[in-house]
Amino acid sequence: MASHIPLNDLIEALAGAVIEAQDNIEQHQISNLLGYFDSQKRPKSLVVRLPSTDPKAEEGSEDYYRAPLLPLVSTNLLKIKDVEITFDVDLGHFTEEPAATAKKADAVEEGRQQEAPKKSIFVDTAGVAKNKGGSIHVVLRVEGSEPTDGAARLMNHLTQTQGVFKTVKVD
């Protein structure tokens, strides 16, 4: 099994995995946020009955109080704080591929600088495993973050819409 890969491809793959992990976290948070809205995108609310505080209300009256759910719960926004990846590899061979000849000709005609040869260092990911029992160690730290400006404004607006919408006399 070929285990020699260019080091830059390995680093790009690891960086891509971290980016994809953050994207998955964000997609999960969006999905979670949508759970606070009904199918017509109206905020889901909690209706509670409280003793009326209106001085004009009759004795024993209750207020129906509506509160959107989103501002009532804590939002768990997470982001990747840092990533630490350590692994053992054996250095493989070094290659230098000449720049594409068609690109060189085009660059000369258009007066642009010619493309430099592509240099690659290959690493052997299996060689270490055979010799030393190689390992990979990944530490991924996430941290809570403050809501974005948009989320904070939405929650603030929803908070302003809550309140008493009906007072009734309880028998």
- Residues 97-129 pLDDT 10s: 776 654 555 555 666 666 777 777 777 776 555
Rounded mean pLDDT of 65-81? 89
pLDDT at 77 over 90: no
pTM for this one?
Answer: 0.65
Domain annotation covers residue 147: yes
Domain annotation covers residue 33: no
The H-or-E segment that residue 26 falls in is helix 7-34
Specify whether the CB–CB gap between 162 and 67 falls below 8 A.
yes
Q: Containing domain of residue 113, as a range? A: 4-22+38-169
Specify whether the CB–CB gap between 124 and 94 falls below 8 A.
no
CB atoms within 10 A of CB 52: 21
CB atoms within 10 A of CB 26: 13
Domain annotation covers residue 153: yes
Domain annotation covers residue 27: no
Average pLDDT in the chain = 82
Looking at the structure of the chain, the number of domains it has is 1
Strand partners, 4: 124
Q: pLDDT tens for residues 31-56?
A: 999 999 999 999 999 999 999 989 99
Domain annotation covers residue 31: no
The percentage of residues in the chain with a pLDDT greater than 90, rounded to a whole number, is 37
Instruction: Identify the residue whose tokens are 């974005």.
Output: 148
Question: Which band of pLDDT confidence, cut at 50, 70 and 90, is reported for residue 1?
Answer: very low
Domain annotation covers residue 29: no
